[in-house]
Amino acid sequence: MTHLIRFEVVGKPRFGNLDGGRIVVQDDDFASSETVTVDGVKVLTPPTAKMITLCDNFHALK
């Protein structure tokens, strides 16, 4: 199974495929030949696809 990972290396956020202790870096939509080790990167949270908010402004509709 492929595990997609978002990480930062040299201050630049990137995506890649986690393969054991290494990450195969993704360039645009394709995997590149560049690899980095997991120890040499900062793992980031996944990007937010949706934002759901709840508010308590129902009194404004009256």
Tens of pLDDT along 25-61?
998 777 788 999 999 999 999 888 887 777 666 665 5
**C-alpha to C-alpha distances, 49 to 19, 32, 45, 58, nearest whole angstrom:** 24, 25, 12, 27
pTM higher than 0.75, yes or no? no
For residue 25, the model assigns a pLDDT of 92
CA distance 57 to 27: 44
The CATH superfamily of 3-61 is FAH (2.30.30.370)
Burial of 23 by CB count in 10 Å (0-12 exposed, 13-18 middle, 19+ buried)?
Answer: buried
Q: What is the pLDDT of residue 37?
A: 94
pLDDT at 23 over 80: yes
